[in-house]
Amino acid sequence: MNRSEWNNFTKARKRFRRIVEELDNSLPKLKNIQQKLVNNRDEASYTVETPVVYNSALDDITIKDEIKLILVADNPGRREQAEENRRYLVGPSGKIANKFFINNPALGIDFQKNVIILNKTPIHTPRTVELRELCRIDKNNNLISAALEESQIKMAELLFEFHNALDCPVWITGYSEMRRGGIFETYTKKLKDFYITSKTKMYKHLFFYRHFSMNQFTIDLKQQALSGESVAKSLERIGAAYRERILMGKEQ
């Protein structure tokens, strides 16, 4: 990074940390509610250690690093919230993402060195769809519902800030819940404010894809790739088409 990029990156990183701290402090009962959610699941329970997760991997980045991609996932899961991690995409989906870039060296991206990862909300649940259940448990107060919506607004603002700082492509994975009525509808609306209403040129560097989980990303890429088309070109075409579908309402 050059000095200007570095200064803007550190400002965005500091703001990210502050957002998480303020959100965590505003929801003193969140951890107990999350634990109740975990304990009520049919799957094996675990101890909730970090209710609202800042991606500490950002603290490892120095001015010498070259960031080539910003990747946006959904929200921190079981492994991401663990005290030993507190990093984004360190579970099965992260392993699949890492393998994808290893298997496609022509992209010139090292997942461990050239990618920073953000989420649509830093609020933890075992699975993203369980954000709805988390809000339902707290239905008498509606504090979590309000916090979830506000966190999406702040995370969309944060993405735009990082994007401005680093001037690299953005991949937003898991677009299905970004539609009207979806968990991340608020995030989508805020993205529209930044990337469409403001008529920024960065809009063309915003791409949407399926999740890396369960190889959805890779399977979709293989199904839509055209004969003789490079992986980079396929990704650009597919990601742009999904962008238009979600942000502009252009259904295929």
Residues 50/86, Cβ–Cβ less than 8 Å: yes
Among all chains, which residue has been given the structure tokens 């819940």?
Answer: 177
CATH classification of the domain holding 45: 3.40.470
**For residue 168, is it within any domain?**
yes
Each residue's pLDDT tens digit, 208-232: 999 999 999 999 999 999 999 999 9
**For residue 20, is it within any domain?**
yes
CA–CA separation, 228 and 107 (whole Å): 16
- What sign does the dihedral 90-94-95-98 (CA atoms) show? negative
Question: What domain count does the chain have?
Answer: 1
pTM for the full model?
0.95
Number of neighbouring beta carbons within 10 Å of residue 22: 14
First to last CA, the chain: 38
Range of the domain at 109: 3-247
Each residue's pLDDT tens digit, 139-161: 777 899 999 999 999 999 999 99
Predicted confidence at residue 158, as pLDDT, reads: 98
**For residue 65, is it within any domain?**
yes
**For residue 252, is it within any domain?**
no
